[in-house]
Homo-oligomer: A and B are copies of this chain.
Amino acid sequence: MSPNRLEAFSDGVFAIAITLLVLDIHVPEPVPGTDLAGELGAQWPSYVAYAVSFLTIGIIWINHHAMIRRLREVDHEVLVLNLLLLLFVGVLPFTTALMAAYLKEGAGDHLAAAIYSGSFLAMSIAFAALNWRILFHKPSLMAEALPDARRRAILARGVAGLIPYLLATILAVVSAYVTLAICGAVALFYALPRASGSERKPSPA
């Protein structure tokens, strides 16, 4: 299969998952006496979780393109590992809704936060695993040979990206707010101009 088809299908899943996130933001029932401003304000965790997950999926999509662009063909293993990655992307609308629903609750908030950052962690591990297989075990599939140092650097950046999510998952025992803050900071870090770290272009890819 050509990388183009893999990319088109994956782009579809990314685009749908990112757009389904909005289904977690609920319209308050318009019953008499509703204080709409109050109700909308009270569900601020939904807006924050929406924004963080939207940016995170968007950044994974950008990085996914950079990863697949290095291939000139894909084999069965790449297809299956990519499917595993998409499986974790597909689960994000659920974990995002879970995070939003429990952030302010007195019970379940730590668990919901751990599952939220845990789903980002699982997605990042699947991404790094796929990248590792491509970079170090599929030279015949790659569009052009990369020097060893370059391949190590790419993988190291990916693995470094796991650490904040691991931290966020562990710190869920302290506070769900800390977990959400870390996940949001990661998204902002990669989105900010100077921080296009995971696919910077100074060295040729």
A interface with B by C-beta (< 8 Å): 1, 5, 7-9, 11-23, 25, 27-28, 30, 32-37, 40, 50-51, 54-55, 58-59, 61-62, 65-66, 69, 76-77, 79-80, 83, 86-87, 90-91, 93-94, 97-98, 101-102, 105, 107-108, 111-112, 115, 191, 193, 196, 199
Contacts and interface: CB of A to CB of B under 8 A. Distances in A.
A170 to B, nearest CB: 17
A87 B19 contact: no
A33 B79 CA distance: 43
A95 B111 CA distance: 29
5 contacts: A9-B15, A16-B20, A27-B97, A36-B108, A62-B79
A1 B62 contact: yes
B36 A193 contact: no
Contacts of A93: 22-23
A61 to B, nearest CB: 6
Nearest to A83: B58
Contact of A102 (B18, B36, B90): B36
A65 B101 CA distance: 37
Contact of A86 (B18, B87, B90): B18
Contacts of A69: 1
A102 B92 CA distance: 24
